[in-house]
Structure 1
Amino acid sequence: MILDRIVAHKKEEVRRRKELYPLARMLDRWPALPPVRSLDRSLRRPGEVALMAEIKRASPSKGWIRKGLRPVELARTYMRAGAAAISILTDNRFFRGHRAFLPLVRRESPLPLLRKDFIIDPYQIYEARYLGADAVLLIAAVLDDGRLAGFQQLAAELGLSALVEVHTAEELKRALDAGATVVGINNRDLRTFQTDLSTTCRLREKITDPRVLVVSESGIHTRRDMLALAACGVDAVLVGEALVRASDPGEKVKELLGTANGRPELVPSVAPPENEHHDHGNTKGH
């Protein structure tokens, strides 16, 4: 499975990073780091669904999505259009992202930044904070219970939010048992690559603690998708490919938020999605 290949490569990548840029070197510069912006506060918008817009150049199965993408320019576009936070893919081998995108965007945007990567080692969490991230992605499918809890604790100690990604009821239980306060429900099954928005609704029903912030990820392309997920009770959505592929990403953000005419559109309520399968052939594909 592609996920296994990514994790295997990530282990070697982290080993090399530790040699090239030891943790002690980062810690020497720790006092000069800027303060962390709260992802939770930015995504909690009573009465509306917040949008986390992603900077994503490629994916393992689709190759390049937008080859000439300029991270800083796109971040500015997202910010002006009304995004609440920005997700930045920093994996280079499979997604053509780069860790350097974080400090570049950080200097230009006041929005909280999520480091979107395959976090398998504490070093990457320290590195995320050092590079300017305000939050890190933790994927339940690649972390055992001990690391899932430990990585969340480390992130909190560093002032970072942890977005814990799940796809199944079992993964959701593990995430909540480990203390997750921000849960990302991935609508894409990493085994079949099919996307089903009803995944969010099924799992959302199992989250009863109002303090847990719920983010829907993958397969979100239209305003109707947004409304259906809002009906499920999500707090936010993470959208990448639909924005990056759009001829005008800023207008696409506004379309999804329903603010294309300068104010939220008056639309009829939409029922939650029911088992709408879409095969987009992408491992992460948010």
Structure 2
Amino acid sequence: MLDGIVAGVLEDLAVRQATTSEADLRAALADVEPPRDPMPHFRGPGSSVIAEVKRKSPSKGALADIPDPAALASEYAAGGAAAISVLTEQRRFGGSLDDLRAVRATVDVPVLRKDFIVTEYQLLEARAAGADLALLMVVSLPGERLRQLHDYARELGLTVLMEVHDEAETARAVEVGAELVGVNARNLKTLEVDLDVFGRLAPLIPDDRVKVAESGIFGPQDVERFVGEGAGVVLVGEALVKDGAPREAVAAMTGITR
């Protein structure tokens, strides 16, 4: 599944590169506000929430009709979200960079570009669109590509959320020096969620890094569990986009301590 998604991402990327050069993106950086640093909030007391704008997913299909992602992001921010995650992959998740731009123009909190990033160009277009953070999936970046893209993202001022799924990926993320490590409980082969994954991998991440729990979070009780296992941040998508009161849902997951 992952290979198929990345293949589609690269096809769509080729279309964008044909119309917008790297030089164009670099020129656009002059008009972009400096990146916002989410780490002070993430390192603060109590749980921080990265609230996600997410229309659909390969595992669940259509999740929510989101005609105005900026309005949803505003509700998240009002509820105390530490950052807003915007899915920009089009084919499987129904997102776009236009969604990210709309959210960036509306909220003051940091914004994460969540996509299948495998090239420097994608990081550059993320920053040019106003992103403050970018997702890098260890599984998608073999060998030195992980370090190269991590270092390039940092040069652009982007905070990297580095996602891992198992022990080997966790070791690579730690070795590269990732400051923000997300443990995704979803198995990319079966698409099933195993809530025990975070508790197994969190001890492998040094305490000077910020640990993010991803997938399988539907309420404060789940946040309490992951905070107890070492999470400082939770990334929540499905539960929030399907909730009729996203502001209140974010607030209920924020500030939970051990």
Q: What TM-score range do you get, normalising by the shorter chain?
A: over 0.9
How far the C-alpha of 1:233 sits from its partner, in A, is: 1.2
Contact 1:37 1:112 in 2 (8 A): yes
Match for residue 27 of structure 2? Answer: 28
CA distance in 1, matches of 2:205, 2:23: 39
Residue of structure 2 in register with 1:97 after alignment = 95
Deviation of 1:129 (Å): 0.2
The farther-off stretch of 17-26 and 236-245 is 17-26
Aligned mates of 1:161, 1:118 — CA distance in 2: 16
2:213 counterpart residue number: 216
Aligned AA (1:32): D
Partner Cα separation in structure 1 for residue 249 and residue 29 of structure 2: 38
SS at match of 1:94: coil
Aligned to 2:39: 40
Counterpart of 2:114 in structure 1 is: 116
Which range moves more in the overlay, 249-258 or 230-239? 249-258
Q: What is the percentage of aligned positions where both structures have the same residue?
A: 40
2:247 to 250, 257, 278: 250
Task: Answer yes or no: is the 8 Å Cα contact 2:170–2:201 preserved in 1.
Answer: yes
Structure 1 contact 135–162 (Cα < 8 Å) conserved: yes
SS of the residue corresponding to residue 97 of structure 1 reads coil
Report the TM-score when normalising by structure 1: 0.87
Question: Aligned pair 1:240/2:237, yes or no?
Answer: yes
Q: Is the 8 A contact 2:47 2:253 kept in 1?
A: no
CA-CA distance at 1:117 after TM superposition: 0.2
1:100-123 per-residue CA deviation (whole Å, 9 max, x = no partner) reads 112211111110000000001110
Bigger drift between 246-255 and 86-95 goes to 246-255
**CA–CA separation in structure 2 for the residues paired with 1:179 and 1:135:** 16
TM-superposed deviation, 1:69: 4.1
TM-score, with length taken from structure 2: 0.96
Say how many residue pairs are matched. 258
Q: Identify unmatched segments of 5+ residues in structure 1.
A: 259-263, 270-286
Per-residue CA deviation, residues 145-178 of structure 1 (Å, 9 max, x unaligned), is 3111000100110000110000100000011112
- Cα distance in 2 between the residues matched to 1:207 and 1:165: 12
- CA shift, 1:61, in A, is 3.5
1:130-152 residue CA offsets vs partner (Å, 9 max, x unmatched) = 00000100001111131110001
Rounded to whole Å, the distance in 1 between the matches of 2:202 and 2:216 is: 16
The residue identity in structure 2 corresponding to 1:240 is G
Amino acid across the alignment from 2:73:
A
For 1:132, the aligned partner's letter is G
Amino acid at match of 2:192: Q
From the CA coordinates, give the structure whose radius of gyration is larger: 1
Q: SS of 1:92's equivalent?
A: coil
After TM superposition, the runs of 4+ consecutive aligned structure 1 residues lying more than 4 A away are none
Is contact 1:81–1:254 with CA below 8 Å preserved after alignment? yes
Is there any run of 5+ residues in structure 2 with no aligned partner, and where? none
CA-CA distance at 1:257 after TM superposition: 2.9
Cα contact 1:145–1:174 (8 A) shared by 2: no
- Name the counterpart of 1:196: 194
2:59 and 2:191 in contact (8 A); partners too: no
**Which residue is equivalent to 1:281?**
none
Specify the code of the residue in structure 2 equivalent to 1:173.
A
Cα deviation, 1:46-68, whole Å, max 9, x if unaligned, reads 2x111110000111243221124
- Output the amino acid matched with 1:227: E
Name the CA shift for 1:197/1:69 in 2 (closer, same or farther; >3 Å).
Answer: farther
SS of the aligned residue for 1:120 comes to: coil
Q: How far off is 1:26 after superposition?
A: 1.3
Q: Which moved more, 1:187-196 or 1:132-141?
A: 187-196
Matches within 5 A, 1:30-69: 30-46=29-45, 48-69=46-67
- Residues 5-57 of structure 1, C-alpha deviations (whole Å, 9 max, x = no match): 101111212222111111111112322221100121232222x1111100001
Q: After superposition, where does 1:168-207 map in structure 2 within 5 Å?
A: 168-207=166-205
Matching residue of 2:165: 167
Equivalent position SS for 2:213: strand
Question: Which region of structure 1 is more displaced relative to structure 2, 25-34 or 149-158?
Answer: 25-34
- Classify 1:123/1:71 alpha carbon distance in 2 versus 1 (closer, same or farther; 3 Å): same
User: Does the aligned pair in 2 maintain the 1:85–1:113 contact within 8 Å?
Assistant: yes
